[in-house]
Amino acid sequence: MGRILKWLLLGIGGLIALLALFVVVVLLVVDPNDYRGEIEHVVQQQTGRKLTIDGNIGLSFFPVFGLELGHTKVSDAKGFGDQPFVEVDDAKLSVSVMPLLSGDLELNTIILQRPQIHLVRNAQGKANWTQFGPPSGAGKPAATPQKKTPETPTGGAGGVPAVVQNARLAGVEIRKARVVFEDRQAGSKITVDPVNLTLKDVRLGGDVPISLDWMMTLDHGPAVAGSLSATANVAPDLGTARLKDVELNATASGDSIPAGKQTLNLTAAVDADLRNAVYRVSDLAIQAAGAKVTGNAEAKVPSSGPVVTGQLSVPETNPRDIFDKLGMDAPNTRDADVLKRLEASLQYRFAGGQLKIDPLQLKLDDSALSGNALVRSFAGPAADFDLKLDGINVDRYLPPPAKGENQPASTPGGAAAAGAGELPVEPLRRLDLNGHVHVGQLTVSGAKASDIDIRITARNGKLRVHPLTADLYKGKYSGDVRLDATGSKPVVSLDEKLSGIQAQPLLSDVAGFKKLVGTGNFAINATTSGMAPNAMLEALKGKATFSFSNGTVMGINVAQMIREAAAKLRGNAVPKTDAAEKTDFSTLAGSVTMDGGVVHNKDLDVKTPLLRINGNGSADLLKRTVDYVLTVNVVGTLKGQGGENLDNLKHVPIPLHIKGGLTSPGFSLDLKQAFDAVAKKRVEEKKAEVENKAEGKKKEVEEKAREKVQDKLKGLLGQ
């Protein structure tokens, strides 16, 4: 055994001596710089790019085999400019010699000093990082037949050579790197400078600390400084890999950044099943602007395409705090207690280019939204959805009413409509929707509704909301709303019906109009076109019908107005009454035509126990004015609604003029015209009476004369 060991040691010693002699000879005889031209030629021939080694090429052989390059650059592809594609000031790579003798591979730290990469996409959309290959016309060596070798297995320890499994790399250091991405097609430029990357103790099966930091500038805009730290571990058989303790920090600053500066923090862990191409992100937490998002994800990458599933949550947060962190004023809302609570959660699945979200849970203040959605395409977008909202008061989130504006303020011609923007026609044309929404309770523009059921469809520029149903004010609503955006201007058509509605609370909530009480029915069929609300009002055309029963018009006692006017005309004292300022009716019905923001009515028919009222006039929705004449006829013999009898005006038309603001008009009664008609009628009646009396007297005289003549004739005849 001693003899064998002796000869073995002598052999190893001799081998080392021989290697040392070889190194000495190479260092004395061979100068790698002598082969600079040949190296550059080979690179040019194989890649079509020019390699230029300006610095010195240095070799070392013991105790490490090393290569050192001075300033080196690779030219860009033809047509992309004169700047280098890749450039490095200094590069060092070395391998320890002694471990090689025992079959182990140990590399010292790889150092790249000031590497620079210039990535360009030209105006035609071609990228310089894809333009590699022999130059056009260059001869290619004839292909030589190669033996077909069995594929090396990718998984399992047996597929990884032992030298690789046991290899060690002391580290990687990339110092002050610069990466420029220039998109000449989009006219944008991103510069990342500097970039510093450090890896330590790189080996399979061991924990490898990673440290990365950078500074990025976007088109002379905001700057983003960032850092990433993590620990990587790749299994010796290359079957699995893990990133743990991942922490990403980024700070964006600049004039375009809210509050001038914003920070983002991300932590997570990543596991990769490299055999089956399955990747998992766990313990994901993202914090920015006072908000936090947590979740997890799993991605599978089969040959049919990636499949990504996961879950995201937003723990309860205060939206107003987020606005504060962003240096922005929170929306000025009518209710200062809204926008104080937000939380959300969802599960998602992305496959085949489609994103499915099911379930979705969202809470905003006192409102809760739940449901699911499927985004079939992001281009349109094209989506299906089924959502349920328990309730929301939209008016709480609107801006406070302008000074002098009544609340609720949302009216077609009000300030809100005047300042509204135009319809987004192009996005409407691209929509492809099929959705259902149910709302338990809704308040909007003052109107209150419940059990709202909405079906929304959109395709090829045509959007339809139908069926659309709701319960409101003890009645029912049904509607069919269509929007056609295929032409130069969107066209909207309405077919809506209200039945059994309590008029006073509805009109009071919507328009602040409290003067009509009764059960009403309403129907509208109209069309309009335009880009903005006021333009749509100007183009509004259609017809509506309405009817109310067993109601009251508050604020006006028509019978009392007639009595007071009559007393003044006679010079009598105005009669006092305790009767309420109202006019009861059994029916109130009619129709209106709409033409350019003006509605006309010619067939108003109101029946009360004492009166019959007909109406004719118009209202301008844009100017918010009304000009209307009611013709009142007294038909009853009752004292009616308090006060003395009006029999002397029975069946005489009395005009009542309504003019002024739409919600607060003035009333004027022209009784003189009625009295003139009565006086004329009385004169005609008196004249007829006199004429009748005169005619009767004449007939009486003639009869008496005839009787006298007859008596005389009888005497003469001796009768």
For CA atoms 697, 699, 701, 707, give the dihedral sign: negative
Structure tokens at 293: 């998002």
Q: How far is CA 157 from CA 162, 272, 273, in A?
A: 9, 17, 15
Boundary of a domain, candidates 175, 203, 231: 203
Q: Are residues 45 and 174 in the same domain?
A: yes
Q: Are residues 350 and 486 in the same domain?
A: no
pTM over 0.85, yes/no: no
Q: Are residues 382 and 405 in the same domain?
A: no
Domain-embedded: residue 428: yes
Q: Are residues 590 and 664 in the same domain?
A: yes
Q: Are residues 632 and 718 in the same domain?
A: no
Average pLDDT value for residue range 426-454? 93
DSSP string, 423-454: --HHHHHH-EEEEEEEEEEEEETTEEEEEEEE
Instruction: Provide the pLDDT for residue 320.
Output: 94
Who has greater pLDDT, 298 or 260?
A: 298
Boundary of a domain, candidates 503, 537, 571: 537
Q: How far is CA 326 from CA 203, 260, 262, 459, in A?
A: 44, 9, 7, 38
Q: Domain range for residue 552?
A: 540-669
Q: Are residues 55 and 182 in the same domain?
A: yes
Give the start-end residues of each E strand in 254-329.
261-273, 278-288, 291-300, 307-317
Boundary of a domain, candidates 522, 537, 552: 537
Residue 38: phi and psi, rounded to 5, are: -65, -40
Domain-embedded: residue 257: no
* Position 393 pLDDT exceeds 90: yes
Contact of 414 with 404, CB cutoff 8 Å: no
Q: Compute, in degrees rounded to 10, the torsion defined by CA atoms 276, 279, 283, 285.
A: -170
Q: Are residues 41 and 188 in the same domain?
A: yes
Q: What is the pLDDT of residues 90-109, one digit of tens each?
A: 888 776 766 666 666 677 78
Res. 61 pLDDT band, cuts 50 70 90: low
Q: How far is CA 698 from CA 650, 677, 684, in A?
A: 34, 31, 21
* Position 637 pLDDT exceeds 70: no
Domain-embedded: residue 245: no
Q: What is the pLDDT of residues 267-291, one digit of tens each?
A: 999 999 998 999 999 999 999 998 9
Helix/strand/coil for 295: strand
Q: 687, exposed or middle or buried, with CB in 10 Å at 0-12, 13-18, 19+?
A: exposed
Average pLDDT value for residue range 610-632? 86
Domain-embedded: residue 215: no
C-alpha to C-alpha distance for 491 and 482, rounded to whole angstroms: 8
Helix (H) or strand (E) holding 95: strand 90-96
* Position 409 pLDDT exceeds 70: no
Within 10 Å of residue 179's Cβ, how many Cβ atoms? 17
Structure tokens at 247: 């922490």
Q: How far is CA 476 from CA 320, 468, 514, 618, in A?
A: 38, 11, 20, 28
Domain-embedded: residue 240: no
Rounded to a whole number of angstroms, the distance between the first and last alpha carbons of the chain is 199
Average pLDDT value for residue range 131-145? 57
| Cα Dmax for the chain | 205
Contact of 381 with 392, CB cutoff 8 Å: no
Domain-embedded: residue 212: no
Domain-embedded: residue 509: yes
Average pLDDT value for residue range 291-315? 94
Number of domains into which the chain is organized? 5
Q: Are residues 533 and 551 in the same domain?
A: no
C-alpha to C-alpha distance for 202 and 241, rounded to whole angstroms: 13
Q: Are residues 472 and 520 in the same domain?
A: yes
Q: Of the ranges 6-20, 86-100, 264-278, 584-598, which is most confident?
A: 264-278
Res. 702 pLDDT band, cuts 50 70 90: low
Structure tokens at 654: 């009395």
Helix/strand/coil for 161: coil
C-alpha to C-alpha distance for 263 and 709, rounded to whole angstroms: 131
Contact of 319 with 339, CB cutoff 8 Å: yes
Find the range with the poorest average confidence among 133-147, 277-291, 351-365, 678-692. Answer: 133-147
Domain-embedded: residue 192: yes
Q: What is the pLDDT of residues 517-529, one digit of tens each?
A: 888 899 999 999 9
* Position 253 pLDDT exceeds 70: yes
* Position 685 pLDDT exceeds 70: no
* Position 226 pLDDT exceeds 60: yes
Helix/strand/coil for 269: strand
Q: Are residues 317 and 408 in the same domain?
A: no
* Position 17 pLDDT exceeds 80: no
Q: Are residues 607 and 663 in the same domain?
A: yes
Who has greater pLDDT, 48 or 150?
A: 48
Residues in the chain: 719
Q: Are residues 632 and 717 in the same domain?
A: no
